[in-house]
Structure 1
Amino acid sequence: MNAMAEESFYVGYNFHPCYEINNVSKTLTRTSTTVCVLLYIILGLLSVVTVCGNLLVIISIIYFKQLHTMSNYLIISLGVADLLVGIVVFPLSMSFSLSSCLYYRNVFCKIRDSFDVILSTTSIFNLCCISVDRYYAVCKPLIYRTKINVHVVGIMILMSWSLSILVAIGFVIADLNQEKCKENCFYDVVIEKILPPVFSFYLPVIIILYIYLRIFFIAQKQARSIQNTIKSVATVNNMERKATKTLAIVLGAFLMCWLPFFLCFSLQLLGGVSVPVYETLNWLTLFNSMLNPFIYAFFYHWFRSAFKIIISRKIFQMDCSNFDLV
């Protein structure tokens, strides 16, 4: 760790809710403050909500036959990634963010980073695949079933998870090499600081933005076509508002959670970033895994119907798998 980075960590711990640092001996002392306890409770509740929300999505799609569609298979993959974020990354990040792990970089920290990179990147790649599916469903409905089938969806899911694992492996190897490197570390810095955000975020987000903008413009064109046909301004305005609202929710939530962190990650090359800022933005990205069930599932009425049946435990009282989810 260079002097600037070390100083950044020390400064961060001067404001750490669960630790105090002795500036003379550079040692950390555990403190059980009210803020620290509240943070554990809040982050624990976020983990529970993330797990429960994504479990509802996964169970709904697996149990109800009406939800056995290509689009929902992609949502299952997204749900599994976000579920594992709630089960694995949330607890590890709680130990990481609220412990001395930020100062003492041990094996535990590297394990946490690996799971974080794999699952978060998989979640982003799944969102990218869902945008491709939505493009064909909305803009090319006549060829949708031929383009998006079980084989294609299987390849999408496999690639999302495989590429995420490769990105994580490259990130960890570069991190280990940089620790051993003393002078010429340029290539390791590039692999660790530049390539991961490019492949994990910037490239997928460009694809997602491009696809959703295409969907939006085509939806507007279709709305104007309907207006010319049936002369119903109210219908057209309603369709445009619905399309705009859907895209605003999807893109707004995604960019709100992910863009600040990756901008901060990229700015690390220009200088040190304080610990509290970096960890807060990292938690914001994990928050997206809690939002995804609401955005991609709660938005549709058939998922809401499925959730009500599951929560009311009717699936344990009768066979509801063939219910018409209206």
Structure 2
Amino acid sequence: MNASLSGSHESAALCYDSLNNSCPRTVYPLTLRFSFYFLFTSIFILTISGNLLVIFVILLSQNPLSAATNHLILSLSVAGVVIGGFVMPHSMVRSIETCWYFGQIFCEFHTTIDVVLCNTTVWHLTFISVDRYLAIFHPLQYRNLMTNITAATMISSSWGLALVFGFAIVISNPQVKIRDDFYKSCVGGCFSLHAREIGVEYSIIFYFIPVCIIITVYSRIFFVAQRHAKVIHSYNKGPTLSAQLTAKDLKATKTLAIVVGTFLFCWTPFFMCNIIDPLIGHLIPTLLYECLMWVAYLNAMFNPLIYVFFYSWFRKTAKILLSKLFMQI
């Protein structure tokens, strides 16, 4: 995405003054640019540090979640670290300077990685919903069903499907759909999926279909889990092992459902624009896409905060790790 395509330039400028075929650039006031640099830098620092904390907590602690759930959350946090460390910094420059200064080849690579990380997040959350389904509906067979091999298969499938689709976009070289043909060839632009024909198909197949699966699974989990909890409570006056296991799994499911809900809140507006924009002749301002894209990026920062607020074992382990770290410093 290139905000210079929004059509509302505050002052006439070019991305490359020495090139006649340079893309136009929107020059924002210096104070506003510094404010945005500070804001976006804070976002990706918090994203990296928060997801690294999740990784270390899971690796070094004995938490009550199953090994399969731990592995899926761990892999999801790795994607969050890459988003914060690789995708966000270059997107920050593009958003604020309204130009792409890193070359066309790196533009394609950056866009591909961006797509891969978004897609792998969707698949991770899909498999997490399957994991929670098995934990609630088949508690006795759960450990036999969700082995380390099963978790590894889920994780490799999440990354594999995302990588295949992401690099297929670059290989297929989809047509750019924008209002002015000049922007297809000017230097300093980097167009994301919303400007390409494949954006609609991508949104439906690789976002909304998995999301429908996730919503369906969690809806069924909550209805049935609450009914099971009432039955167990009525037949067991004391806190039996069965009741404790059900309560633990239900609490973990609720927390992970909040992770899914946050993802939907952050990413759905962007993908809705992906579908609507081609239908109205690509009239949605690119600046709006830029804002929605950063709302979507915030999802990678929110996930660690959810674990902090809803998992007491996570807070305790994080405090121990951070105290040891600061004592060494």
After TM superposition, the score normalised by the length of structure 1 is 0.78
> Any idea what the Cα deviations from partners look like across 1:286-310, whole Å, max 9, x if unmatched?
1111111223465221111110111
Of the three residues 21, 33, 39, the one matched with 2:12 is 21
Does the aligned pair in 1 maintain the 2:9–2:27 contact within 8 Å? no
Q: Matches of 2:163 and 2:105 in 1, distance apart?
A: 18
Counterpart of 1:170 in structure 2 is 168
Task: Say whether 1:291 aligns with 2:302.
Answer: yes
Task: Say whether 1:261 aligns with 2:270.
Answer: yes
Does the aligned pair in 1 maintain the 2:4–2:98 contact within 8 Å? no
> Any idea what the Cα deviations from partners look like across 1:111-147, whole Å, max 9, x if unmatched?
2211111112111211111111111112211110111
Q: Matches of 2:162 and 2:34 in 1, distance apart?
A: 34
Counterpart of 2:259 in structure 1 is 250
Q: 1:106 to 1:305 in 2, by over 3 A?
A: same
Task: Say whether 1:206 aligns with 2:212.
Answer: yes
Task: Say whether 1:41 aligns with 2:38.
Answer: yes
The residue correspondences of 1:52-201 to structure 2 (distance < 5 A) are 52-66=49-63, 69-101=67-99, 106-174=104-172, 176-178=173-175, 192-201=198-207
Q: Matches of 1:307 and 1:164 in 2, distance apart?
A: 31
Task: Say whether 1:278 aligns with 2:289.
Answer: yes
- C-alpha displacement at 1:54, in angstroms? 0.5
Where relative contact order (Cα < 8 A, 6+ residues apart) is larger, the structure is 2
Q: Matches of 1:12 and 1:102 in 2, distance apart?
A: 17
Counterpart of 1:324 in structure 2 is none
- C-alpha displacement at 1:204, in angstroms? 1.3
Q: Matches of 1:37 and 1:190 in 2, distance apart?
A: 31
Secondary structure at 2:140's aligned position in 1?
coil
Secondary structure at 1:101's aligned position in 2?
coil
Q: 1:297 to 1:256 in 2, by over 3 A?
A: same
Q: Matches of 1:122 and 1:243 in 2, distance apart?
A: 22
- C-alpha displacement at 1:231, in angstroms? 7.9
Q: 1:279 to 1:208 in 2, by over 3 A?
A: same
Counterpart of 1:323 in structure 2 is none
Q: Matches of 2:252 and 2:58 in 1, distance apart?
A: 24
Secondary structure at 2:284's aligned position in 1?
coil
Structure 1 unaligned spans of 5+: 183-188, 318-326
Q: Matches of 1:197 and 1:284 in 2, distance apart?
A: 17
Aligned-pair identity (%)? 37
Q: Which amino acid aligns with 1:199?
A: I
Q: Matches of 1:39 and 1:224 in 2, distance apart?
A: 50
> Any idea what the Cα deviations from partners look like across 1:265-320, whole Å, max 9, x if unmatched?
11121222201110111111111111112234652211111101111016988xxx
Counterpart of 1:185 in structure 2 is none
- C-alpha displacement at 1:178, in angstroms? 1.8
Q: Matches of 1:259 and 1:197 in 2, distance apart?
A: 9
Counterpart of 1:302 in structure 2 is 313
Residue range with higher mean Cα deviation, 295-304 or 278-287:
295-304
RMSD: 3.5
Q: 1:69 to 1:255 in 2, by over 3 A?
A: same
Counterpart of 2:184 in structure 1 is none
> Any idea what the Cα deviations from partners look like across 1:228-283, whole Å, max 9, x if unmatched?
43589xx9xxx7x9699647633431221011000011112122220111011111
Does the aligned pair in 1 maintain the 2:93–2:100 contact within 8 Å? no
Does the aligned pair in 2 maintain the 1:212–1:247 contact within 8 Å? no
Q: 1:59 to 1:146 in 2, by over 3 A?
A: same
Q: Which amino acid aligns with 1:200?
A: F
Q: Matches of 1:131 and 1:248 in 2, distance apart?
A: 8
Structure 2 unaligned spans of 5+: 15-19, 182-194
